[in-house]
Structure 1
Amino acid sequence: MASSLRGGQAVSALLKAQSTAVCTQCAQARTVPFLRAATLPLQRRTYSAEATAAAATPSSQNASSASASTPRPVATPPDYRIRAGLLLSRPPLLTNEPTPFEAAFYLYQKRLNERLTGGFRRNVYFKPDTMLALDWRLQMRHRKGTPARDIGHYHGGKGAAGFGGATAWDDEFLVGDPEAEQLTNPDQLRERIISDADLRVSEDGETLAEADRVRVERPQPRRTAADEANDTQRLDRKLDRTLYLVVQAADGTWSFPAADVRTDENLHETAARALESTAGVNMNTWMVGRVPVAHVVREVTPTKEEAFTSEKTFLLKGRIMAGQADLKDNTLGAKAFQWLTKEELAAQLPKYYFAGVKNAMPAR
């Protein structure tokens, strides 16, 4: 009996030892990979020349292991400088003048619309023998029976007596017709429309002389004083075109405001800093996006301080809403500034520079 008990205890002790060994192996199998992963060195990418040199020089602790392993290629610093700038623009404030074809087409469409629409019933809009009714009668007499104010003397399919006639299809002008040139001239067309608002009849129903008519206020001309003086530093010039801000460097070359990109800056941050450092803070501007719209590469001569052989300038787009550039306290050495159109930039900027930015600017 005692021997059987001792045998059973031995068997149970053997089974317990085997299970403990299996559990220990499982625990080691689970913990060893984790410990190995935790002890691996943290891999970091190097972005500067100092960090690249430090990574290329092994420390005293792992010098032996680094010599035993396969050597890695050392990343050399770039031989170019990265810059960022802003292509700041003022959008057009007026629509562009119509081309001769557009003016002739619009005149034809207005005459065609006059013929297809119903006649104007003055009794619906004017009471008889009132000031407005008398004024309308004078206008119709001046237009020779044509209600529309900007299509000239025209029968419109009604004929001379209003019942049709030989000139019913009188919608088109021949090339070189002096009346067509007068009706399609933008300045004369604008004055003809505005003059219709002048009051020709007094409150007593009397026809006023030409000098006594009550005039309405005329709009400002399309050409401003800045256009007449060709002042390229003013924003109220070329109102139907897009203007771009360019600055002149100390060496006399013209370019968009730009600066070197710092290690702690993004491109749009450098572009905003370049504009503020060059043209001051008295402008309300808006950065259209954070993606460059143009790219310019310029070759430079290496110096003892810098071994760069070229510089790459990335230009972002911006808009000016109000204000004006001021170079009084600029820190980038700008001597002058101008607001120029695309054609004027082609003559002012270096050829390589304009070739890199011309596709980022619209035609007008």
Structure 2
Amino acid sequence: MASSRRGGQAMSALFKARSTEACTQCAQARTVPFLRAATLPLQRRTYSAEAAAAAAAATPSSQDTSTSTSTPRPVATAPDYRIRAGLLLSRPPLITRDPPPFEAAFYLYQKRLNERLTGSFRRNVYFKPDTMLALDWRLQMRHRKGTPARDIGHYHGGKGANGFGGATAWDDEFLVGDPEAEQLTNQDQLRERIISDADLRVSEDGEPLPDADRVRVERPQPRRTAADEANDTQRLDRKLDRTLYLVVQSADGTWSFPTADVRTDENLHETASRALESAAGVNMNTWIVGRVPVAHIMRDVTPTKEEAFTSEKTFLLKGRIMAGQADLKGNTLGVSAFQWLAKEELAEQLPKYYYASVKNAMPER
């Protein structure tokens, strides 16, 4: 039994020695290629003309004999395209849009349906008898011909033509082209009808005032501004219900968003911010929404002696303006003019290939 134990120990020692030798050989075989690959320099891509020239100057010539022929070093070559970044700076809508004719007609139908289904208005709950407010309410009801709601026209709310039921009790729909329907769905007239209810119709003595002597409340500002009337595209107070975008005119007369070349040490959002500041000044309070581009533009360019690029890739990021205005004084991009334009106006100013690449990044409003 002792001899068998000694035989087992000898076999174990022999197996351990052979395993150690095999692992050592395997480790040597794997270590050499790994170390050789780790000594290779990293290949970097250059995105500007000055960086490409510096990389070409740093590349060793073919006459350099110090480099081993067995491990050739990779050559850093300049790309044949140029990368640019710009900012799609926008001013969001400031007021709601006017409803289209179908929506206006649907809203009128809903108002009349609500008037027909709800309970009648109890004036005694809201107005004390023989007071100025009660007198003003009677005057308003007389002007509306018995209709409590002020924006649905002369309507009897399901009580019938004479208040006792009748054939017109459920007649709450207008035909196409009805002049009364056009008045009730016209937003300007509807706004004036609602605001006129706040006019003072009764004097302090409780006597009705003539129409010329009524105290009018202040009306809101019109939806169309002086910039809309003059079609001044450099002002931000135009087209208040639409989104406006800043475009600049370069030295060759073409319109585009503020754009600049991406430097080797910059990210896209840093280049977009620098392009806006270089083109339109620093008198604007802006905010870049995100660092992910919302549009991508590609076009071919003609190589020159200074730059050998054959194509150009432009990435546009989204931004918002909160205050301020563009100022072209001292801009470094050669910008000669700027405009704030809506989407359909951009289709007329921007080149066709340019607008086709960015139109899907802009909402209809």
Place the TM-score, normalised by the shorter chain, in its bin: 0.7 to 0.9
User: Where does residue 45 of structure 1 map in the other structure?
Assistant: 43
User: Where does residue 113 of structure 2 map in the other structure?
Assistant: 112
CA distance in 2, matches of 1:302, 1:193: 65
For residues 78-117 of structure 1, what are the structure 2 equivalents within 5 Å?
78-117=79-118
Indicate conservation of the 8 Å contact 1:85/1:314, yes or no: yes
3-state SS, counterpart of residue 71 of structure 2: helix
Indicate conservation of the 8 Å contact 1:155/1:170, yes or no: no
User: Where does residue 362 of structure 2 map in the other structure?
Assistant: 361
Indicate conservation of the 8 Å contact 2:45/2:79, yes or no: no
Indicate conservation of the 8 Å contact 2:116/2:158, yes or no: yes
User: Where does residue 185 of structure 1 map in the other structure?
Assistant: 186
Deviation at 1:56, TM superposition (A): 7.3
Deviation at 1:45, TM superposition (A): 2.9
Indicate conservation of the 8 Å contact 1:86/1:315, yes or no: yes
1:211-250 CA deviation, whole Å, 9 max, x = no partner? 2111111110000000000000000000111100000001
User: Where does residue 268 of structure 2 map in the other structure?
Assistant: 267
Give the letter aligned to residue 103 of structure 1.
A
1:63 pairs, out of 65, 68, 76, with 68
CA distance in 2, matches of 1:27, 1:155: 100
| Bigger Cα Rg | 1
User: Where does residue 301 of structure 1 map in the other structure?
Assistant: 302
Give the letter aligned to residue 63 of structure 1.
S
CA distance in 2, matches of 1:192, 1:33: 92
User: Where does residue 4 of structure 2 map in the other structure?
Assistant: none
CA distance in 2, matches of 1:271, 1:224: 31
Pick closer, same or farther for the CA change 1:33–1:361 going to 2, 3 Å.
same
3-state SS, counterpart of residue 198 of structure 2: coil
User: Where does residue 347 of structure 2 map in the other structure?
Assistant: 346
Indicate conservation of the 8 Å contact 1:79/1:310, yes or no: yes
3-state SS, counterpart of residue 66 of structure 1: coil
CA distance in 1, matches of 2:356, 2:123: 61
3-state SS, counterpart of residue 347 of structure 2: helix
Indicate conservation of the 8 Å contact 1:154/1:170, yes or no: no
User: Where does residue 7 of structure 1 map in the other structure?
Assistant: none
**Further displaced range: 90-99 or 223-232:** 90-99
For residues 132-211 of structure 1, what are the structure 2 equivalents within 5 Å?
132-211=133-212
CA distance in 2, matches of 1:123, 1:87: 58
Indicate conservation of the 8 Å contact 1:289/1:317, yes or no: yes
CA distance in 1, matches of 2:152, 2:199: 19
User: Where does residue 5 of structure 1 map in the other structure?
Assistant: none
User: Where does residue 293 of structure 2 map in the other structure?
Assistant: 292
3-state SS, counterpart of residue 298 of structure 2: strand
User: Can you give the 5+ residue segments of structure 2 that lack an aligned partner in the other structure?
Assistant: 1-13, 47-51
CA distance in 1, matches of 2:198, 2:69: 96
**Further displaced range: 297-306 or 270-279:** 297-306
Deviation at 1:194, TM superposition (A): 0.4
1:308-345 CA deviation, whole Å, 9 max, x = no partner? 11211111111111110000111100000000011111
Indicate conservation of the 8 Å contact 1:279/1:325, yes or no: yes
User: Where does residue 332 of structure 1 map in the other structure?
Assistant: 333
Q: Normalising by structure 2, report the TM-score.
A: 0.86
**Further displaced range: 146-155 or 292-301:** 292-301
Pick closer, same or farther for the CA change 1:311–1:30 going to 2, 3 Å.
closer
Deviation at 1:294, TM superposition (A): 0.8
Indicate conservation of the 8 Å contact 2:55/2:77, yes or no: no
Percentage of matched positions with identical amino acids: 80
User: Where does residue 233 of structure 2 map in the other structure?
Assistant: 232
3-state SS, counterpart of residue 196 of structure 1: helix
CA distance in 1, matches of 2:31, 2:155: 97
CA distance in 2, matches of 1:358, 1:57: 48
Indicate conservation of the 8 Å contact 1:46/1:52, yes or no: no
User: Where does residue 321 of structure 2 map in the other structure?
Assistant: 320
Give the letter aligned to residue 216 of structure 2.
R
Indicate conservation of the 8 Å contact 2:281/2:328, yes or no: yes
Indicate conservation of the 8 Å contact 1:156/1:170, yes or no: no
1:164-222 CA deviation, whole Å, 9 max, x = no partner? 12210121011111111111111000000000111101121011111211111111000
Deviation at 1:55, TM superposition (A): 6.3
Give the letter aligned to residue 163 of structure 2.
G
Deviation at 1:60, TM superposition (A): 4.1
Indicate conservation of the 8 Å contact 1:296/1:312, yes or no: yes
Pick closer, same or farther for the CA change 1:149–1:103 going to 2, 3 Å.
same
**Further displaced range: 304-313 or 327-336:** 304-313
**Further displaced range: 324-333 or 36-45:** 36-45
Pick closer, same or farther for the CA change 1:27–1:115 going to 2, 3 Å.
closer
**Further displaced range: 74-83 or 352-361:** 74-83
